[in-house]
Amino acid sequence: MPVARRMKGELSEADLLDALRRGDRQAFAAVIDRCGDTVYHVAYRLLGSREEAEDILQETFLQAFQHLKDFRGEARLCTWLYRIAYNLALMRLRRKEPETVSIDQPILLENDEEVPRELLDWCCLPEEELLRAELRSVLDEAIRSLPASLRTVFLLRDVEGLSTEEVAEILGISTDAVKTRLHRARLQLRERLSRYFAEELAGR
């Protein structure tokens, strides 16, 4: 088993932090294996490109390791890293798409996608059936279509399984805002998947 991966499961958060502060290089590797996938995932879902996600991955760890003294241990180490990654990705997104509305502003209910319209019950289709329908690309496309502010909450809460409090900390918003955005994201995704399955089943 790789050295860093072996360390990943064994060290407590406090021990890992001590090791990092001592400059233990295996601890740096362990942090990459503990938090790297989610850092990459956040950047990829915000920017939509593997190359840019990798840039953010590198910038995040470079910045974090250079500024370890700023980490006060109030949040989990990974949470701190995700926050850095999110801010770096967001800055880049704003440079790329300056017209993007501020991600922190309340979301106006300008589209009515959260009002359920598609009432086909596809919940119990067998998994093979769903997979046959190029599920992954459908899921990708649906999540890409969400506003960035909803997308990030959904991926951190539902896909990565972080707590409401952690997501609030990463995005710098209230826990109530996390809950509201999560609910809206779920309903919008449900609507898009429902539309897809309705067409798919009608076409047979």
Partner 1 sequence: MPPSKRCAEWLDRISLYLDGELAEQLCRELEQHLAECPDCHVVFNTTRRTIELYRRYGRVSMPEGARERLFRVLNLEDLLRDESGAK
Helix ranges (DSSP H) in the chain: 3-10, 13-21, 25-47, 50-66, 77-96, 127-132, 135-144, 148-154, 164-171, 175-202
Question: Under the criterion CB under 8 A, does residue 16 sit at the interface with partner 1?
Answer: no
Q: Which among 1-9, 12-20, 86-94, 97-105 is the span making contact with partner 1, rule CB under 8 A?
A: 1-9
Give whichever of 115 and 202 is closer to partner 1, judged by the CB atom.
115
Cα→Cα distances 149→82, 145, 189, Å = 15, 11, 14
Question: Under the criterion CB under 8 A, does residue 36 sit at the interface with partner 1?
Answer: yes
Instruction: Using CB under 8 A, pick the residue from 8, 20, 34, 41 that binds partner 1.
Output: 41
Which secondary structure element, helix H or strand E, spans residue 75, and what is its range?
A: none
**What CA–CA distance (Å, rounded) separates 31 from 133?**
37
Binding-residue pattern over the window 57 to 76 for partner 1, x denoting contact by CB under 8 A: xx--xx--x-----------
Give whichever of 14 and 131 is closer to partner 1, judged by the CB atom.
131
CB of 115: closest distance to partner 1 in angstroms?
Answer: 5
CB of 102: closest distance to partner 1 in angstroms?
Answer: 24
Task: Specify whether the CB–CB gap between 93 and 45 falls below 8 A.
Answer: no
Question: Under the criterion CB under 8 A, does residue 2 sit at the interface with partner 1?
Answer: yes
